[in-house]
Structures are given as C-alpha cells and as structure tokens.
Amino acid sequence: MSILTRLITVDRTTAVRVITDEAVPRPSFYVLVLLSTALASYGLLANSIAVVIGAMLIAPLMGPIYGIALGLVRGDRRLPWMASLSEAGRILLAIVLAVVIGSLPLRPDFGSEILAREVLQRMLDQRSPDTELLAVRVAEGETTTVNATVLGPRSLSRRSVDQLNGELSETIGRPTRLIVRSVPSTRVGASRAAGTERPKAAR
C-alpha cells in the first residue's frame, strides 16, 4: 500500500468519525441550538440582519444532515435514524425557545420598526381601510422619529397624522414624532400604465 493510499484511508476514517460524532446528539449540540435560537429570535425582534446571520453561523444544522447523507451512502441504517432524531429534536427545541422569547414582555424594547409597522397598520386599517402602509423607518433618540410611507387614494390630513402620532406614542410607551409621506394610488397606477405603454411606443 502506497503512502498516498494510506493517507486517503486515514483521512476517510477521520472524516467518518467526525461526521458520526456530530450527527449523534450531545450536550454541546443542544447548547449551540439554544444559543443560536436565542440570537436569531432577538435578531428578528431587533430587526438586525447581522445578528440573524451570526445565529446561522453557530447553528449546528449541518452535522445531522451530513450524518444522514453518510449513512445513506454507506448503507448504515442506524446513523440516518439517529441523525434524523437529532434534527427533529433541534427543530422542536428551537420552536419552543423562540415562542418563549417572543412571549416575553421585553418585546417593545426590541424591533422598533416592526412594532411601529404593526401599530400603524392596525390604526390605518381602523381609520382608513383603503390606505396601505408601504415602508417604516425609525430613528431612536429622546423622541423616537417614525417616518412612514403610505399608499392611498388621498393624503392623510394633519389632524389624522397627529391622532396617529398620539396613539402610536401611547402604544409604544415613549414620545414619538410621526412623519407621513403619502403616495396617491392614482399616481402609482398612472406610472405603471406608462411603463407598460413605453415598449409599445418604442416599437
């Protein structure tokens, strides 16, 4: 047996051992599941893409998947079964932890944009059902500035904006300054119609 063949055999044995160890549930596996799920949950509440990506990096997702693939390739029935149980347990644990974190009363302190969007959309549905909330941007400070873009047949009056601002401030629990930019739906329809007519004119 040549040196190259022996090295390949050793590497193959090491790879099989490592994949098998990562596919079988261990305490470190569930610790990483808890950490990654907590990070992902708070990242979603804080509307932070970077935190969600960080949670993806430490999530032990690929271990059981590699184990299933290895077991199928080698004809090992026990390894895919154990890896599938590990993956199912991880998914169940992640769902339970995410529900617990989402139910905590600390949610208003996270994800101001998400909370502001939900509150504004609910108030618009009650006051002006034909108005659609397009975008929300929040700037934190002593007074939380909320920039909202709405689509509707008519612009919101100053009185309506002041009423929405008062209800938004009361719901969020801190002073807010609401700035609303109204986009008439007729303008959007006209621009779309113009966009569809341009290719015909070019011909």
- Rounded to 10 deg, the angle between the 78-102 and 27-45 helix axes is 40
Return the higher-pLDDT residue of 197 and 161: 161
pLDDT of the residue at 113 = 67
Q: For 53-111, what is each residue's pLDDT tens digit?
A: 888 888 887 888 888 888 888 888 888 888 888 888 888 988 999 888 888 766 544 45
pLDDT, averaged across the chain: 75
CATH number of 111-202: 3.30.300.170
pLDDT of the residue at 112 = 63
- Among 25-34, 128-137, 181-190, whose mean pLDDT is lowest? 181-190
Q: For 155-187, what is each residue's pLDDT tens digit?
A: 777 887 888 888 878 877 778 888 888 777 664
Characterize the bridge pairing of strands 176-184 and 132-139.
Answer: unpaired
Angle at the Cα of 108 (from 104 to 110), degrees rounded to 5? 90
Measured distance CA(132)–CA(147) in Å, rounded: 14
Q: What percent of the chain has pLDDT over 90?
A: 2
Q: What is the pTM of this model?
A: 0.50
Domain locations along the chain: 3-107, 111-202
Beta carbons of 177 and 112 less than 8 angstroms apart? no
